[in-house]
Amino acid sequence: MNYENSVILSGLLHHLSRKKDDKHFAFSIRHENVWTDGTTRKDFLNARAFAADVQEKLKSLAEGTPIKVKGSLRTSSGSGELFLAVSEVEVLDEKFELENSVKLTGYVHQVKAQAEGETGTGKYIRFAVRQETQDDQGHSRRDFIVVRVYDETLRGTLTTKNDGDPIEVEGTLRSSRGSGVNYVRCSAIK
């Protein structure tokens, strides 16, 4: 299967502490928008830049610089943490338009632990989109991209899917208000 895994995101650059031996530049993007209850929701979305030119550009920018990034979602091979692997970065002006879109294809991976949950915005079902690719050195790589499905109709659609079934997901990248864990908030399933 040829996987789709694309993310476009705009927000404010948030620098994270850096280790000397890192092969990537870790940062987050502060994405703020008005939430359903009228409050401002702040998501801190984990990102990493691997390409040297993208790293240098990000390092030269001040904290809070408005940026737009493009990339793909990956999971850390150690912790399983979801992050955005950034391939492009663009500096925006102060009156930038918020963007946050995720498109994924892969296979359904049913999450056995804490498959259901509830937040202030409602009940959800949690699953993962499994993608199997090769890294730059030709090694097999498996990503399990966590998705939360809040919409009742979409939850019903998901219950018709079995582990290993092909799936297409559209949504937005979010961070949990409690734990800060990043996930995809599903808006469409095909």
* pLDDT for the residue 178: 65
138-144, long-range: CB within 8 Å, 24+ apart, which pairs? 141/77, 143/73, 143/74, 143/75, 144/75, 144/80, 144/109
Instruction: Classify residue 72 as exposed, middle or buried by CB count within 10 Å of its CB (0-12, 13-18, 19+).
Output: buried
* pLDDT for the residue 92: 96
**The overall pTM is greater than 0.85:** yes
User: For residue range 158-173, what is the model confidence (pLDDT) as tens digits?
Assistant: 989 999 999 999 999 9
> In a structure prediction context, what are the per-residue pLDDT tens digits for the chain, which is 190 residues long?
788 999 999 999 998 876 656 788 899 999 887 777 788 888 899 999 999 999 999 999 999 999 999 999 999 876 788 999 999 999 999 899 889 999 999 999 998 877 888 887 789 999 999 999 887 778 888 899 999 999 999 999 998 999 999 999 999 999 987 667 899 999 999 8
The residues facing 182 across adjacent strands are 175
* pLDDT for the residue 19: 64
Task: State the Cα–Cα distance between residues 105 and 43, nearest whole angstrom.
Answer: 24
* pLDDT for the residue 122: 84
* pLDDT for the residue 4: 94
* pLDDT for the residue 136: 72
- CA nearest 129: which of 92, 183, 89, 78? 183
Task: State the Cα–Cα distance between residues 73 and 163, nearest whole angstrom.
Answer: 20
* pLDDT for the residue 15: 87
